[in-house]
Structure 1
Amino acid sequence: PQTGVIVHKGYVIAEWGDPHKVDQTFSVSKSFLSTSVGLAYDRGMIADVHDLARPYVAPIVLEEGDGEPGDEAGRRPKLLFESEHNRKITWDHLLRQTSDWEGTLWGKPEWADRPDNDRTTWGTRARFEPGTAYEYNDTRVNLLALAATSVWRRPLPDVLREYVMDPIGASPTWRWHGYDNSWITLDGRRVQAVSGGGHWGGGMMLSAFDQARFGLLTMHKGNWNGRQLISEEWINMATTPGDMNRSYGFMNFSLNTGQRRYSNAPEYTWTHTGAGSNLIYVDPQNDLVIVCRWIRGGAFTDVVHTVLDAMGAVATNN
């Protein structure tokens, strides 16, 4: 059912539908993925987001049968950043979806996500230099999830549970899934690499109340009741517009740059966005978080405007 939660000044002031129901959240999963990378950054596991990704990521040992053509049915370790093009990719490129990574992952070539109408270009087009073109692409999102798993040397759901979800009091019902074929061998253990965006299955499943808690965490710059779970530096980077898409920060922080998304909202707001639509609106100036699920995207804009009008909020640029 259509579901929503509105939190103002830390209090739930409205709810509808079934906010306890655990449901697919689609590309809101990307915000949890970028947060997992941020947790690694905060601990010095990634020194700089502008570092090349290649030196951080060891060869990936796939399960037998999960290899790509030419990979000896999964028995050959997969190298994610070996081509001349892929060697140039940084963490920032991956986080902002400007890498133009070339390759196949979990049976999905990168061109298979939102392919061009001209089939002749799918595997042959010239590559954009990393950082010079924005393209929303879930194969590359899954690449970031796999690379982050390699850096952490543990499943990302375990990381998120320990450092974010348990500390913010999330329910025990949320789940973060990968694919049937996204299993790797990591330090002798069988580990599933999660889907970073929920495309083709997998992804984050959680309740609207848990979504609201995550929205509050990002609104408070990673601080939860005096405990800094994610660095303020990371949230500031995540909410800074990219050069190739001024309405997009780190995945999946959709920004209100120039107040183009919400005309009566402050410019410094963001929405964790997913299909469905699943949306978490975050407004630090008004101390406001709005979660809506299974609502048309255009209708969500009306919800934000209506709530702000009802609060008597005046949009001002920070």
Structure 2
Amino acid sequence: MKLHSAIQFAHDNETPWCYDLNQEKAISKNDRPPWNEIMGPLKPRGGPAGLVIYEGHIVAEWGNIERVDATFSATKSYIGLCAVLAFREGLINDFDDPVRDYKLCNSFESPQNKSITWRHLLQQTSEWEGVLWGKPDTVDHNRRIGIDIDDSQRGEKRRLRNPGCFWEYNDVRVNLASYCLTLLFEQALPDVLHKYIMDPIGATNSWEWYGYRNSFIEVNGRSIPSVSGGAHWG
């Protein structure tokens, strides 16, 4: 059967990544020192696992489907959901508004950054320039994504374009989007996701979403985490 073949394919094509993701080079192996430091929690990964649901029924499963494993850049989708929730709740008036107009922080005061909009942040076209949680935007300059892609130029500073004119996969800027949304909601994004998405759909409470050891901020007298938009550095 095709289903059995697909499951066997999943078993036979496990990722070559090492099991101990806390090894510094397991995640950020192409980052240049000192920017390759892991700053957030990681744990050893599990083996291949998955399930197939057809017409509301589980028709196949393999591996430990109860295990909580890192989902890496899936958190970018969670940030997108939080942005939509912010719009629905009236916290964002228009995704084409400059983020600077919301007076959340001083990260958008420079000539390069002052015209960056929410849409730019969410679509990774912001071309934001700066340092966040100890990581400069340049760490992901010239980053290439894909199988067998030459990523040797990652981290080499390039000429910045105007916001909205150039797309780049840049985790520093994604983390900036998370930071701004945290300030906007005045609460940690995992709490937002829990309240508006996970609880209503009946999700389990086993999922986790963390930031870095230095990404805690004070909001209304409380210390809350600004979570990461991927597991690039933990």
Q: Say whether the fold is shared (TM-score over 0.5).
A: yes
Alpha-carbon offset, residue 114 of structure 1: 5.5
* Cα distance per residue 1:265-317 (max 9 Å; x no partner): xxxxxxxxxxxxxxxxxxxxxxxxxxxxxxxxxxxxxxxxxxxxxxxxxxxxx
Take 2:119 and 2:142, find their aligned partners in 1: how far apart are those partners?
A: 24
- Structure 1: gaps spanning 5 or more residues: 60-78, 202-318
**Residues 21/143 of structure 1: CA separation in 2 closer, same or farther (3 Å cut):** same
> Which residue is 1:149 aligned to?
182
Which SS does the other structure have where 2:92 is aligned? coil
For 2:28, the equivalent position in structure 1 comes to none
Query: In the aligned structure 1, how far is the partner of 2:54 from the partner of 2:175?
Result: 34
In the other structure, the counterpart of 2:56 is: 10
1:14, distance to aligned residue in structure 2 (A): 1.9
Q: Which one of 112, 118, 131 corresponds to residue 104 of structure 1? A: 131
SS at match of 1:139: helix
* TM-score between both structures, scaled by the size of structure 2: 0.73
- Aligned position for 2:214: 181
1:52 aligned to which of 98, 106, 112: 98
2:114 to 72, 87, 92: 87
Q: Deviations over 1:90-115 (max 9, x none)?
A: 11111111111111100000111255
Give the unaligned 5+ runs of structure 2: 1-46, 144-151
TM-superposed CA distance for 1:184, in Å, is: 0.8
Identity percentage of aligned residues: 47
The alignment covers a number of residue pairs equal to: 180
Match of 1:19 among 42, 51, 65: 65
1:195 to 2:228 alignment: yes
- TM-score, normalization: structure 1? 0.54
Distance 1:132 1:5, change over 3 A: same
Distance in 2 of aligned mates of 1:9 and 1:90: 41
1:118 Cα deviation after fit: 6.0
RMSD over aligned Cα atoms? 1.8
Runs of 4+ that moved beyond 4 A: 114-121
Q: 1:26, 1:9 → 2: CA distance? A: 28
Q: How far is 1:55 from its partner?
A: 1.6
More strand by share: 1
- Please state if 1:170 is matched with 2:203: yes
Q: Is the 8 A contact 2:140 2:170 kept in 1?
A: yes
